[in-house]
Each structure stands twice: as C-alpha cells, then as structure tokens.
Amino acid sequence: MHNAAIAALGLDAVYVAFRVAPTALPTMLEACAAAGMGGNLTVPHKQAGADRVPHLTPLARALGAVNTFWTDAGALHGDNTDVAGIGEALDALGAEPPWLLCGTGGSARATVAAALRRGAALLIRSRDPGRAAAFAAWTVEAAAALGLAPVEVASDEGQAARTVVNATPQGLAGGDPPPLPAARWRGAHAALDLTYRPGGTAWTRACREAGLRASDGGAVLVAQGAHAFERFFPGTPAPRDVMTAAVARFLAP
Ligand SMILES: NC(=O)c1ccc[n+]([C@@H]2O[C@H](COP(=O)([O-])OP(=O)(O)OC[C@H]3O[C@@H](n4cnc5c(N)ncnc54)[C@H](OP(=O)(O)O)[C@@H]3O)[C@@H](O)[C@H]2O)c1
C-alpha cells in the first residue's frame, strides 16, 4: 500500500517490514531516529512505543498507543492513526449507537477515541468481566485526557446494540470461531471487523448474509495508512485510490 503510493507519486522512499523482538524495540526506534526514518508500529509494539517515542500527539498520549512515527529534527514523533481509520470505516457504515465493542486491547482503545469524538454510547465485551468494567472506567479517563465529554458506557450484559465492532484477533485465522455469538450481533444494523484476510473474514460474510452492513479491516487498513502516509510526507495528500487498489489486490480471494 505504501510502496504503491510512493511509486505513484515518484517519491524517493521505500516501505519495509522489520520483525522486531520486544526487547529490541528501543534500539530499533533509536536507529530510526538516527536515520531520520518514519514508520508504523503494530502488534505487539503499539503500547511500548508510547513509552519510547518522546514526542506524542495528545491523542497518542491519551490512548497510550502509537501506530505511526516519524522523525523531525532528529527526534521521533508519534501519533495514533487507527482512530481516524476506525472512525472513517464506521462513518462509511453509517454506524448508529450504541456500539458493542469486543476486546479491551489497543484497537479497542482507538475505537473508544472514535466513539468519544462522535458521542456514541458503548457496550464493552471482554473474555473477563473485570477487564470489561476496568476498561469502561478507563473511557472516562480517556475522555478527560482528550478534552471530550464522556459517553454512556456499560459492560455488555446482552443490551441491544446497533453496531458491533470486533477489536479482537478472532478472525485472523481461517478456522477462527466468530468473535461473539450470533445472538449478540443479529439485531444490529452494522458490523466492523478489524481483522482482515484474503477473500474477507467469515464473520463479515455472515453479517452481510444476515442483512447487516459490514466491513472488514481492509477499509481501516487503508484509512489509517493514508493518515500515516501524510505524517511521513507532510503536505503530500495520500493517493487513497492507489492504496485502496493495492490492498484490494493483496486481499483478493
Ligand atoms: N485493520 C486495521 O488496520 C487494524 C488496525 C488495528 C488493529 N487491527 C486488528 O485488530 C485486532 C486486535 O488488535 P489489537 O492491537 O487491539 O490487539 P490487542 O491489543 O492484543 O487486543 C486484542 C483484545 O482482544 C481480546 N481477545 C478476545 N479473544 C482473544 C484471543 N483469542 N486472543 C487474544 N485476545 C483476544 C482481548 O480482550 P479481552 O482479554 O478483554 O477479551 C484483547 O485485549 C488484531 O487482529 C489486529 O490485527 C487491525
């Protein structure tokens, strides 16, 4: 996606994937700063990155998670473009509240920021009820840190939801069970699956067959990537059509 955008605009750059062990992250980020590089952090580095990137946007600081970094005057800066990506994908689905949010990890935090920006009420679903309650309490802290009004939030106890968001890794592997039982999403009108795989995810297909509007993580991937690209190359609008086509080729069945 990034290399397709770089080639389309004739930029002198290349996007490369590095597999980095958690213990090597500080050294890797120091090397990136020394070389004037920018990039993305993904699982499991987003939270650790927030402790290691010295200059964070207020959003990345409030979420304690960085997915995009760049170098300015020899120092690393970090932002969280998952929030814009998830928000845009939900807007495209016309996502009505309340949103039932599955998972309490980094992308669930980004979904909370998107909900706070839209005033969307939330239901939190976790494998552990205590974690759901703690996460619900954290949304109030996040709202304060972002200078936004808190939203109505509760642990999921079977209340009606209009939109369902899968912010767990369930769906990444072909044989994965659905992220939540059918009874919890069949009454909704929209579903966003943050996972993606070639040919689409089984849960997204099941949602569409049941009449929901549904997107998998491909839409979020492009949107967060477009915002990241504009951090890497300030003043250069991301060629979204090129990036969308590159992701579509990658995710083709
Ligand atoms: N499309 C995109 O651009 C995009 C962007 C960001 C993330 N993602 C995807 O979203 C998914 C979640 O990412 P993340 O960064 O939020 O991960 P994470 O920080 O590890 O959090 C995942 C959460 O899912 C829940 N969970 C439920 N079943 C699980 C299982 N079998 N194994 C592990 N956790 C499980 C856990 O919450 P409880 O323990 O409370 O249940 C956990 O906190 C990943 O698949 C990632 O690839 C996609």
* Cα gap 188→215, rounded to integer Å: 14
Tell whether 126 and 28 lie within a shared domain.
no
- Number of domains observed in the structure of the chain: 2
Residue 52, domain extent: 2-81+220-251
Tell whether 214 and 123 lie within a shared domain.
yes
Tell whether 119 and 9 lie within a shared domain.
no
Ligand 1, pocket-test mutation among 46, 107, 197, 224, most atoms within 8 A of CB: 107
**Is 189 assigned a catalytic role?**
no
What is the pTM assigned to this prediction?
0.96
Q: Whose CA is nearest to atom 27 of ligand 1?
A: 168
Tell whether 184 and 126 lie within a shared domain.
yes
Tell whether 113 and 153 lie within a shared domain.
yes
Catalytic residue among 2, 46, 109, 125: 46
Write down the pLDDT at residue 175: 84
Tell whether 167 and 236 lie within a shared domain.
no
Tell me the two tokens of residue 181.
Answer: 């039982």
Tell whether 178 and 242 lie within a shared domain.
no
- Residue 209: enclosing H or E segment and its boundaries? helix 202-209
The rounded Å distance from CA 104 to ligand 1 centre is 8
pLDDT one digit per residue (tens) for the chain, 253 residues? 999 999 999 999 999 999 999 999 999 999 999 999 999 999 899 999 999 999 999 999 999 999 999 999 999 999 999 999 999 999 999 999 999 999 999 899 999 999 999 999 999 999 999 999 999 999 999 999 999 999 999 999 999 999 999 999 998 888 888 899 999 999 999 999 999 999 999 999 999 999 999 999 999 999 999 999 999 999 999 999 999 999 999 999 8
Q: Let me know if 137 is exposed, middle or buried by CB neighbors in 10 A (0-12, 13-18, 19+).
A: exposed
- Ligand 1 close to Cβ of residue 194 (< 6 A): yes
- Ligand 1 close to Cβ of residue 114 (< 6 A): no
Tell whether 63 and 106 lie within a shared domain.
no
* Cα gap 66→53, rounded to integer Å: 8
Tell whether 135 and 182 lie within a shared domain.
yes
Q: Whose CA is nearest to atom 21 of ligand 1?
A: 105
Q: Are 89 and 223 in contact (CB under 8 A)?
A: yes
Question: Please, which residues have CB within 8 angstroms of residue 30's CB and are 6 or more apart in sequence?
Answer: none
Tell whether 8 and 117 lie within a shared domain.
no
Q: Are 117 and 143 in contact (CB under 8 A)?
A: no
Tell whether 236 and 141 lie within a shared domain.
no
Tell whether 74 and 164 lie within a shared domain.
no
Give 228-231 contacts, CB < 8 A, sequence gap 24+: 228/2, 228/40, 228/67, 228/68, 228/81, 229/2, 229/5, 231/38, 231/68, 231/70, 231/77, 231/79, 231/81
